[in-house]
Amino acid sequence: MSATPARTPPPPYYAVIFTTLRDDSAGGVEYADMARRMLELAQSMPGYLGIESARGAEGLGVTVSYWTDLAAIDTWREHSEHRVAQERGMRDWYRHFELRVCRVERARSFQRAVDTP
C-alpha cells in the first residue's frame, strides 16, 4: 500500500470504512503479518479499486477500501482466509471496531501543481 490517497474511478462505487481500536496487548508481528496478507489478498480480489489506511498515535486506525459494487464486497467478506482473520481480530486484536459499507456518490480530487524553482 502506498501512503497516498487512492485513485478511484468516477462515482458511483463503494467504500468499506473500517475503524478500529486495538487491544493494548495486541501482538505486533502476528498482527502486522495478518494485515499485510489481508492487503495482498484484497488487492487480488475482483472489484478491488484501492485502499487508504492510517493509524494515529492514540491507537485509532481508519482503513477505507474501495470496490466496484456490493457483490465484490460480499465476496471479499466471505473469503475463507479473510474469515479466519476476522475471527482472530475479534478474539485477540480489536477492542472495538465499527464497519460501514457506503455508496460513494460524489468525489473530488485535488493535487498541487509542482512548483517550478
Q: Which residues contribute to the site for a copy of itself (CB under 8 A)?
A: 3-8, 11, 15, 17, 19-21, 23, 52-56, 58-64, 90, 94-112
**What minimum distance in Å lies between the beta carbon of 114 and a copy of itself?**
9
Q: Which residues pair with 18 in a beta bridge?
A: 63, 99
Nearest residue (CB) to a copy of itself, 45 versus 69: 69
Rg over CA atoms, the chain: 16
**What minimum distance in Å lies between the beta carbon of 41 and a copy of itself?**
20
Phi, psi of 76 (to 5 degrees): -65, -45
Nearest residue (CB) to a copy of itself, 29 versus 114: 114
**What minimum distance in Å lies between the beta carbon of 105 and a copy of itself?**
6
**What minimum distance in Å lies between the beta carbon of 46 and a copy of itself?**
20
Sheet with strand 48-55: strands edge to edge:
13-22, 60-67, 48-55
Peptide bond into 12 cis (omega under 30): yes
Please provide the size of the chain in residues.
Answer: 117
Nearest residue (CB) to a copy of itself, 8 versus 68: 8
